[in-house]
A and B are shown apart, each in its own frame.
Chain A
Amino acid sequence: MGYIAARGGTAAILNAEVLVEHYRSRGGTPPLTLDQIQHQLRHAVGRAMHEGALYAPHLAALAVKQAEGDSIEASFLLRAYRATLPRVMATLPAHGRLMQCARRISAAFRDIPGGQLLGPSTDYQIRLLRATLARESDDDIARIATLVEGFAATHADGGIGHFPKVVDHLRAHQMVVPVPTATDATEPFDITRQALQFPCPRSARLQALAQADTGSLLTYAYSSVRGYGDAHPTLAELRYGHLPIAVAHPVDGSAVWIGELEATECETVSKAHSVRAGDAAPRFHLGYGFTYGQGEVKAISMAILDSVLNQVRSGGLSGESGPAADEEFVLLHSDGIEASGFTAHYKLPHYVTFEADLQVLERAKRHAATNAGGRLGRALAAAFANAAADEEDGDA
């Protein structure tokens, strides 16, 4: 007789790993190079970095390759690698106004200081499959490069550079609720070093949102603007480009530039009636979003959620609140790595818990069969049924 119960030993696990490698490579095509992934799948690489919360483009390309393009798996690999690294120091606050912008747009004003710059964007592209891409050659790639050189020649400023921030203009005119800003000397809350507890500081919220799953943030933000909330954001500015990063010199404290990040930054303002009750000067609430790479949908979603949660904290949220206004609900369920890990854990054996469940089920069946609830049980059941009926009436 043989026991069917799965007791996968080491051999089975090792074989499974080989099979995964085989399924990745069995198509007989040349191995993907990391350079190809990093440059031609830049959104996959960017997503692995912002959800993995580690800025490392080449390692992210490796993660995308190893994960066979699965975005959560790739970010999981990067996140796990990050945990093996010591934290050396925090950088100085990186100011978005120092970003070398390749793109910056505002939906709040047509004319903004410095002008709108569409940059690399599929926003206005007709989404038709381009069959020519299937036969792309080195010549095609050279032709694209020539076209872009032409742009630089016709626009003397090259279109790329530093721009003032739209929200600075709003701030200067006292149109937005001031957000407590950390000074350069303040260390932000670090969710990789302290467990998230509630109520949490805004820096903790922003970190949690910045490493959240894109799809999850999109769902919450969308629910809040579509009907389960009252967010009504206006996109003050979205910018994408290279953001310089500095650390404080360990001896004299001066800023030392250590490199730059490719990043997306978004700022939204709430609608005007979400002002603090009784506040003498009505103002908009700000929301802030940030991702590595060009993660625009996530940056916008994050900014909407930050704005909604700022309004909740200040007591200024009006109208329907919805799930997106519950900080714990949003922050504790949007991390793709945690959510996917726990959801997938149901694949693990649950023989013991299920056996215990079976025994509870048996007891409940016996209880139902003998109607052992008695007079009290029946009275309580009737009370529950009435309460449920009342609730339904209330909804109608």
Chain B
Amino acid sequence: MHELHYTYGLIDEDSKREVRRALLKAVALPGHQVPFASRDLPIARGWGTGGLQITLALIAPEDVLKVIDQGDDESVNAVNLRRLIAQTTGVSLTAVTADATVIQTRHRIPEERLRADQILVLQVPMVDPLRWVEPNLERATVMHGEADYGRMWVYMYESVVRAGDLRIATQYPVIVADRYLMDTTPIPRWDVPKLHQADALFLFGAGREKRIYAVPPHTSVAPLEFEDVPFRVEYTPGQRCARCGCGDSFLTSHAVSDADGATRWVTTCSDTSFCAARQAVP
């Protein structure tokens, strides 16, 4: 059997063009879910195939790529996706957010404000916030078409009554450009305000669900909230990263072994390159 050869960016050119057409439509209709066929990639469904198809369809040889997972450049899946993109395109790679032109991410938006010449590609597991109240796609599509989000408000209200707060940890629902209800992917609430009136372009790809959507630069992104129960980000007064000392970043917990073998928990920045840069500054 002869050796198998693959094209630049792995997917055939017609398919990449189709992804780009869906992207253009998504940018033109902020927050609207655009169906696309979604090719099968050598990465499992649910592991970032939507984001990967966007990246492969967009990336040019002169681009500089950063891939993060949980904010971390060295997380297993980030390493693996970066390896596939590098193998099939040969683009330059970086961990430094400011140096990247295309950033593919799962579950986080980098802490540094992104610039107008940067594109953030988000991997999306669940495309539609309406899934919580209407799992049937045919009916949910009609609800989006009519901007009929009443049941979502009832869901939010019940969550306040039962839990005392909007009981949504990640993939917080937002209204984009005063029109479409949109899922923010499992980014924490901390990252949601970064989507609002940003300089950069945010592209969302859901491979298994076969949808693409976008938040173009300078677009209004408003989290669902009540006048008396406002949207709040995760923040504990006095919180600090154990490594860089940052007081206003998203932190995750880690178990640390002391010299005497005892385990204790510390919190550190989830965005590792942001944290490393702060540590490097004397």
Contacts and interface: CB of A to CB of B under 8 A. Distances in A.
Interface residues of A, number: 68
Interface string A353-385: 101111110011011000011001100110000
Given A58-B1, A80-B40, A351-B270, A344 B70 contact: no
A396 interface: no
A343 B15 CA distance: 26
A195 interface: yes
A112 B207 CA distance: 47
Contact of A9 (B74, B141, B211, B255): B74
Contacts of B79: 8-10, 13
B1 A62 contact: yes
B141 to A, nearest CB: 8
A86 B13 CA distance: 8
Given A355-B251, A360-B169, A380 B42 contact: no
Given A85-B12, A342-B45, A352-B186, A1 B252 contact: no
A351 B254 CA distance: 9
Interface stretch (B30-38, B144-152, B195-203): B30-38
Nearest to B39: A83
Interface stretch (B3-11, B111-119, B173-181, B215-223): B3-11
Contact of B163 (A7, A86, A328, A367): A367
Interface stretch (B58-66, B96-104, B256-264): B256-264
A238 B270 CA distance: 57
B183 interface: no
A197 B210 CA distance: 10
Contact of A355 (B49, B74, B253): B253
Contacts, number: 197
Contacts of B252: 5, 351-352, 355
Interface in A1-21: 1-10, 12-13
B94 interface: no
Nearest to A73: B44
B46 interface: yes
B41 A80 contact: yes
A90 interface: no
Contacts of A191: 37
A87 B256 CA distance: 53
Interface stretch (A178-186, A259-267, A291-299, A333-341): A333-341
Interface of A is mostly: helix
B164 A84 contact: no
Contacts of A79: 40
Nearest to A380: B161
A1 B40 contact: no
B280 interface: no
A194 interface: yes
B89 interface: no
A95 interface: no
Contacts of A85: 12
A76 interface: yes
Given A86-B12, A355-B253, 7 more contacts: A8-B74, A87-B14, A194-B37, A341-B49, A345-B47, A360-B168, A367-B163
Q: Which 9 pairs across A and B sit closest by C-beta, in order of nearness? A: A367-B164, A341-B45, A342-B46, A345-B46, A341-B44, A195-B35, A195-B210, A356-B169, A83-B39
